[in-house]
Amino acid sequence: MKQTLRQSMSWLHTWGGLWFTWILFAIFLTGTLGVFDDPISHWMREQGKIGEIAPSTVDQRSRAVELGQRHLAAVSPRADFWSIGLPGDENPNIRVFWRADEDAPFKQAQLDPLTGAELQPGASRETEGGHHFVHMHFEFHAGMAGIWIVGAATMAMLVALVSGIIVHKKIFADFFTFRPGKGQRSWLDGHNALGVLTLPFLFVISYTGLTIFWATYMPAGVLARYDGSEDAFFARLSEEPAPRPLQHIDALMPELAPLMRRGEAAIGREASFVVVEHAGDRSAAVRVFGRFDPDAENDRLVGRGSGSALYDAITLETLDVQLPNTVRGGSVLQTQRTMNALHFVRFGGYPMKWLYFICGMAASAMLATGAILFMVKRRKKSANEFGAATARVYRGIEVLNVAAIAGLILACAAYFWINRLLPLDVAERGTREILLFFAVWLASLAHAALRPSLAAWREQLAACALLCLGLPLLNLATTGDWLVAALARGDGETAGVELSAIGFGLIFLAMLRQLRRRAPTLTVDRPETAKTAAIDAIGGR
């Protein structure tokens, strides 16, 4: 490779960018939606209609712990993990989670807060809500494999950022350059302006995304330097008691309700969760978690803990108490936690969330324009990179562009519709919603593969616009709740979701108009010409 630095970096940016752009677009788009996971869950669970849930008394919480413990002892007396979620602002029911051993999947049930009876499917709109987007964002619902795919793509993002900067001679000038209606040049200007505008955000969000999973992605340091046990290493790092090894000796579990009261007194805060590790074993420990205080979140990046108390379940001895809003661990751990907080936007309240949302959408658009630019450039003049297979590879890239960009947006919009249209009483409803989300995405890929590119772009964008603009009507038709009612009762979360959907719908309509203006005749004679016309239209010329 006899090349200048800029040439080799341009090559790296083009090809490294292309092969990762579809995964990265999915990570950025779902992560951006995930900024508002709580409002999305609020909309999906119809919490606006339920209204405020009255604060509970200590007796009510004790009773809930009793009922939760009774259920768990019946379904899984010996368990790696029990968790009892107490009724709170977001959910009036008792939620129990458990898993039999470390390798078993988590199971869950919701219990009536007064009788402890298990609530049957259909009693409420069971959904993963906004968590679906968060899980898509960091693991594609694929567990460890997904985490590694996201990590590799994020490294590619950092490399694309650095190589992109080297390629650009005049970053500052590019920022003010936009030449619309000039085809390839406009796509490049758009890609550059969006990239430069969000550059600090892109670096911060990519780097802090990697350091959340530092010990997973880069375990060499820990593996080379831990002495004795890894658990002890991490316990020393976070200055917390190390997890206790299973003893395999049966033991009777104590009443958890009195421990909850002790925990509340020790941390000076209402309990939100009571968790048992190694239930039914001599090594069992009970942890009482304090309720999260959203107001503590706005003015600081770390040290906003809700407090917790840890007890030996057999001797009832206090093992550890961490007070709310206190910090543990040294300055390096605080640095890492600060980086996490920057990634999760756990600071600054709604204004900061909106800033992240706008930056995330701009970043997604930057990735999309990059992917489209790649094809626009080559439609004008094939670079013939793949020899005889070039035309076929280009077609494949076109199809993936449509499915990965328009198709994913469509699947995300469809997820809201699925939530309202799927019957309430189907089993595993939350999981089914997510399966249907993937089904829509897959259908968009099939559609993109069967239709000429321009038609595929146009039809999928039209479907996106339809789903977004129709969302408030769908909500009115299926639940009787709607935008005006939400605004009238001051329910900003429900109204925010629907107003944002309308906003996105209008953006997709504007894109469609642009497409129509640039490609007035789609009924072209030969397929080859149709394809060229299609890509030219996507490219603007």
Partner 1 sequence: MSVPSPAHLRLALGSRVLAAVGGGYALASVFSIWLSYLLPAELPEAVLGATLFSFAVYTAAVIWAFAAASAARAWLGLLLPGAAMGLMAAALQLGGAAA
Q: How far, in Å, CA of 200 to CA of 304, rounded?
A: 26
Vertex 356, ends 350 and 359: CA angle to 5°?
A: 140
Distances (CA, A) of 356 to 200, 363, 366, 464, 497: 12, 10, 15, 23, 16
Closest CA to 410 of 23, 19, 17, 26: 26
Q: How far, in Å, CA of 458 to CA of 480, rounded?
A: 32
Q: Among the candidate windows 114-122, 152-160, 178-186, 295-303, which touches partner 1 by CB under 8 A?
A: 152-160
Q: How far, in Å, CA of 24 to CA of 438, rounded?
A: 17
Does residue 330 interact with partner 1 by CB under 8 A?
Answer: yes
Nearby residues of 90 by Cβ (< 8 Å), 6 or more positions away: 41, 42, 45, 47, 53
Q: Which is nearer to partner 1, 294 or 330 (CB)?
A: 330
Q: How far, in Å, CA of 446 to CA of 395, rounded?
A: 13
Place of tokens 């790092």: 237
Closest CA to 313 of 288, 265, 279: 279
Encoded one letter per residue, x for contact with partner 1 by CB under 8 A and - for no contact, window 128-147 reads --------------------
Q: How far, in Å, CA of 492 to CA of 499, rounded?
A: 10
- Torsions phi, psi for 523 (to 5 deg): -75, 65
Q: Which is nearer to partner 1, 105 or 387 (CB)?
A: 387
Give the nearest distance from C-beta 482 to partner 1 in angstroms.
46
Q: Which is nearer to partner 1, 340 or 514 (CB)?
A: 340
Does residue 332 interact with partner 1 by CB under 8 A?
Answer: yes
Give the nearest distance from C-beta 224 to partner 1 in angstroms.
5
Q: Which is nearer to partner 1, 16 or 305 (CB)?
A: 16
Of the candidates 103, 115, 225, 295, which one interacts with partner 1 according to CB under 8 A? 225
Of the candidates 51, 105, 387, 520, which one interacts with partner 1 according to CB under 8 A? 387
Encoded one letter per residue, x for contact with partner 1 by CB under 8 A and - for no contact, window 157-196 reads -xx--xx--x------------------------------
Q: How far, in Å, CA of 140 to CA of 25, rounded?
A: 12
Burial class (CB in 10 A: 0-12, 13-18, 19+), 38: middle
Does residue 385 interact with partner 1 by CB under 8 A?
Answer: yes
Q: Which is nearer to partner 1, 147 or 159 (CB)?
A: 159
Does residue 386 interact with partner 1 by CB under 8 A?
Answer: yes
Q: Among the candidate windows 85-93, 95-103, 154-162, 528-536, which touches partner 1 by CB under 8 A?
A: 154-162
Q: Among the candidate windows 118-126, 381-389, 414-422, 433-441, which touches partner 1 by CB under 8 A?
A: 381-389
Give the nearest distance from C-beta 217 to partner 1 in angstroms.
8
Write out the two tokens for 523.
């009924």
Q: Which is nearer to partner 1, 64 or 202 (CB)?
A: 202
Give the nearest distance from C-beta 216 to partner 1 in angstroms.
11
Q: How far, in Å, CA of 490 to CA of 467, rounded?
A: 25
Vertex 540, ends 537 and 541: CA angle to 5°?
A: 85
Give the nearest distance from C-beta 7 to partner 1 in angstroms.
7
Site size toward partner 1 (CB under 8 A) is 46
Does residue 210 interact with partner 1 by CB under 8 A?
Answer: yes
Nearby residues of 456 by Cβ (< 8 Å), 6 or more positions away: 399, 402, 406, 447, 448
Does residue 214 interact with partner 1 by CB under 8 A?
Answer: yes
Of the candidates 222, 321, 445, 511, which one interacts with partner 1 according to CB under 8 A? 222
Give the nearest distance from C-beta 169 to partner 1 in angstroms.
17
DSSP string, 209-253: HHHHTHHHH--HHHHHH--S-HHHHHHHHHTSPPPPPP---B-PP
Q: Which is nearer to partner 1, 54 or 220 (CB)?
A: 220
Encoded one letter per residue, x for contact with partner 1 by CB under 8 A and - for no contact, window 334-353 reads -xx--x--------------
Residues lying near partner 1 in the complex (CB under 8 A):
1, 5, 7-12, 14, 155, 158-159, 162-163, 166, 207, 210-211, 214-215, 217-218, 220-222, 224-227, 233-234, 236-237, 329-333, 335-336, 339, 383-387
